């Protein structure tokens, strides 16, 4: 991906090297319960801890440690990708007569407190918190992508653009509609809706790449394949297999590898938001 000359985003909150101090009120027992619940119900332990009452986790103002050159380059890269999504989504929202409110992106290492989603932990992978309009990324996920068989800069750009896709769903009201529909659904129905959300975010990542390439020629040979490989590598079937579990489609919350790369490609090829209606 050609990115070095790209604009850097003003919306990066760099918390790398800061440590999280856990506040009073949550003991070790509660954390164990939250982790067990996370294993059995597939929920985010941070969400459960929050439900157990008063996270009280605060990010202490320890002076940031020096970062490695590799981490700094990755941070610089994320800043360029984020800025590019701002440019594309600004334009796409303006074309529809509305204004894009850009998200903040928090870079952290290990764990960080969020405003509305409890404790953010690197083990959960990159995530978007709808309650505070922020993306949270621990750059160690780059190594995870390599381990899953999706190395390369554009693979990581896809991950950032996917999380921005969730932000777009939040702004568009899709996220809250889906949460309401989920409240009326069975467990299987809730999962099916979650899959549709994820596939739409993949499609939106593709829409971003389409416009970024048309305006700024960011894609190099092999990038599309990298993006498709990244989308496939985080498919639930592949992740379940990698975790040594049998593949259970009804428990999918992100979609299969084939579905994820197909929707990413649909957005990439067309650049058209209408194509990303994964719900009908």
Q: Going by DSSP bridges, is the β-strand pair 111-113/119-121 parallel, antiparallel, or unpaired?
A: antiparallel
Q: Which of 114, 218, 204, 116 is nearest to 159 (CA)?
A: 204
The interface region with Zn ion, picked from 38-46, 113-121, 167-175, 198-206 by CB under 5 A, is: 198-206
Give whichever of 27 and 131 is closer to Zn ion, judged by the CB atom: 131
Rounded-to-5 percentages of helix, strand, coil across the chain: 55, 10, 35
Q: How many residues line the site for Zn ion (CB under 5 A)?
A: 2
Q: Which residues pair with 223 in a beta bridge?
A: none
> Residue 228's CB: how many other CB atoms inside 10 A?
22
CB of 166 to Zn ion, least distance (A): 6
CB of 202 to Zn ion, least distance (A): 8
Give whichever of 34 and 201 is closer to Zn ion, judged by the CB atom: 201
CB of 175 to Zn ion, least distance (A): 11
Contacting Zn ion within 56-115 (CB under 5 A): none
The interface region with Zn ion, picked from 28-36, 59-67, 135-143, 190-198 by CB under 5 A, is: 190-198
CB of 231 to Zn ion, least distance (A): 11
Contacts for 19 with CB less than 8 Å, ≥ 6 apart: 59, 60, 62, 110
Q: Which of 167, 192, 205, 211 is nearest to 253 (CA)?
A: 192
CB of 123 to Zn ion, least distance (A): 16
Contacting Zn ion within 36-65 (CB under 5 A): none
Q: Which residues bind Zn ion (CB under 5 A)?
A: 198, 201
């Amino acid at each position: 991906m050609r990115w070095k000359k790209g604009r850097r985003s003003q919306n990066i909150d760099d918390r790398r090297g800061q440590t999280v101090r856990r506040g009073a009120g949550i003991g070790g027992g509660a954390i164990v319960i939250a982790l067990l619940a996370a294993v059995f119900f597939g929920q985010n332990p941070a969400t459960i801890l929050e439900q157990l009452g008063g996270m009280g986790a605060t990010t202490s103002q320890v002076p940031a440690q020096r970062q490695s050159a590799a981490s700094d380059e990755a941070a610089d890269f994320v800043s360029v990708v984020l800025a590019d999504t701002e440019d594309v989504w600004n334009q796409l929202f303006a074309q529809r007569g509305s204004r894009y409110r850009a998200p903040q992106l928090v870079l952290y290492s290990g764990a960080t407190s969020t405003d509305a989603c409890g404790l953010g932990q690197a083990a959960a992978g990159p995530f978007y918190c709808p309650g505070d309009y922020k993306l949270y990324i621990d750059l160690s996920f780059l190594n995870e992508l390599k381990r899953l068989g999706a190395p390369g800069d554009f693979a990581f750009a896809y991950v950032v653009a996917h999380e921005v896709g969730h932000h777009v769903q939040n702004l568009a009201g899709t996220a809250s509609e889906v949460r309401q529909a989920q409240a009326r659904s069975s467990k299987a129905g809730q999962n099916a809706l979650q899959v549709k959300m994820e596939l739409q975010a993949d499609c939106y990542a593709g829409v971003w790449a389409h416009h970024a390439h048309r305006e700024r020629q960011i894609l190099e040979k092999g990038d599309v394949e990298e993006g498709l490989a990244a989308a496939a590598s985080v498919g639930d079937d592949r992740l379940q297999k990698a975790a040594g579990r049998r593949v259970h489609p009804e428990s999918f919350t992100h979609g299969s590898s084939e579905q994820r790369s197909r929707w990413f490609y649909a957005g990439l090829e067309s650049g058209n938001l209408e194509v990303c209606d994964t719900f009908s």
